[in-house]
Chains A and B, each alone.
Chain A
Amino acid sequence: MSDPGAATVAERIGSQLARYLGPHTARVAVKTFAQRGLGRGPETLTVADVPAMSQALRPMLRTLVGKQRAEVVLQQILREFGL
């Protein structure tokens, strides 16, 4: 059974990525890197997982938008959760 609060975390991370990657790839990226970085599905993410998720997303973002823009996006994700 999924936790609606945790699903929201995945969606909120996805919405920050969607500006650059589009909504489809943003969802795929959150799913892919939640599994690779945390070994869990996106539906299990909590606010406590957000720093680890941002670390997991960093190499992907650096490849596609460069280091500077990647750091801006990651900061936006952290700010979204007041971190």
Chain B
Amino acid sequence: MRYRALVAFPIAFALLTAIVVSFAPAASHDLVFQIAIDAAKLFALIGLSRAALAFEPGEYLRRGWGLFAFCYVLLLARDAALFLPAAPLTIEIVRAVFVTLANVCLVTAVWTLARAWTVAGLEFPGTPATRRAVVAAAIVAAVLLAGPELYIDVRDTITGKSPGYGSIGSDIGDILALPLIAPVAMTALAVRGGLLRWTWMLLASSFGAWLAFDLFTTLPELFAVPLAPFQFLAAEFHLLAVSLACAAGFAQGLTISDETDHGV
């Protein structure tokens, strides 16, 4: 029941936010989403810290989950920097530093988590050719979905259309981290039927939601499509991605804690 509740939480949170947004005046939609996403980041920080602290100091996955949690400390600090009593350019630089550091943490964390299976001495399911094909597909998807956004942000920064240093760091982080969805998804597939499946399934779903977020962010930049529905979908998948990471952290903590001997 507790694992199923963890799966239900991100979906319920995203649905609840969508309902609130649908009843709120159009001018406040961004604010509602921002509050929901910041709340989700705070929950993710707690969930991922729970996962890290379930392992003892020096254990392999403590480093991965710990770095993942620290990424959310930096992302929350980036958001809090908006309230600094400083010039807009200074705030933008501070935010860019935080988001770049957060992405370094994220890429390292995801790399660490993605390698857990190999570090444990196990092989992923499927033939080597199948595994290579899955990794190649994930790389192509990450480049196709996050690449255009990087191009647009670099172009806008160079032309001075908008200061996008933080966005560039985030885009590079996406391109490096999102292909790692492949080993995470293969781990989830490998542990199907076991308690660890909840953690790895939720983590893989989180990365899947990030891919969808990139898709809905990029499409309006490339094609003449109505902006509002895509902004709504991008915000919903942003919320889902962060909430799913939170749930994955709690699932990892549950699996390791003594309380998990009863109930799914």
A68: min CB distance to chain B, Å: 7
Number of A-B pairs, beta carbon distance below 8 Å = 74
Do B255 and A32 have beta carbons less than 8 Å apart?
A: no
Report chain B residues within 8 Å CB of A41: none
Contact of B196 among A20, A33, A68 (CB under 8 A): A20
Interface residue ranges of B148-204 to A (CB < 8 Å): 190-197
Interface residues on B, range: 20 to 34
Q: Answer whether residue A79 sits at the interface, using C-beta atoms and an 8 A cutoff.
A: no
Of the listed stretches B115-123, B127-135, B232-240, name the one at the interface; the rest are far from the partner chain: B115-123
Interface residue ranges of B48-68 to A (CB < 8 Å): 54-56, 59-62
Report chain A residues within 8 Å CB of B61: 63-64, 66
Do B125 and A32 have beta carbons less than 8 Å apart?
A: no
Interface residue ranges of A20-65 to B (CB < 8 Å): 20-26, 28-29, 32-33, 36, 59-60, 62-65
Q: Answer whether residue B256 sits at the interface, using C-beta atoms and an 8 A cutoff.
A: yes
Q: How far apart are the CA atoms of A11 and B111 in the complex, in Å?
A: 33
- The interface bits of chain B over 30-58 (1 if a CB of A lies within 8 angstroms of the residue's CB, else 0) are 00000000000000000000000011100
Report chain B residues within 8 Å CB of A28: 122-123
Contact of A22 among B56, B59, B121, B192 (CB under 8 A): B192
Q: How far apart are the CA atoms of A69 and B196 in the complex, in Å?
A: 12
Do A25 and B190 have beta carbons less than 8 Å apart?
A: yes
Do A32 and B122 have beta carbons less than 8 Å apart?
A: yes
- 29 CB-based A-B contacts, threshold 8 Å: A20-B191, A20-B195, A21-B194, A22-B190, A22-B191, A22-B192, A22-B194, A22-B196, A24-B190, A24-B192, A24-B193, A25-B194, A26-B194, A28-B122, A28-B123, A32-B121, A59-B121, A60-B122, A63-B61, A64-B196, A65-B196, A66-B56, A66-B61, A66-B62, A67-B55, A67-B56, A68-B56, A69-B255, A69-B256
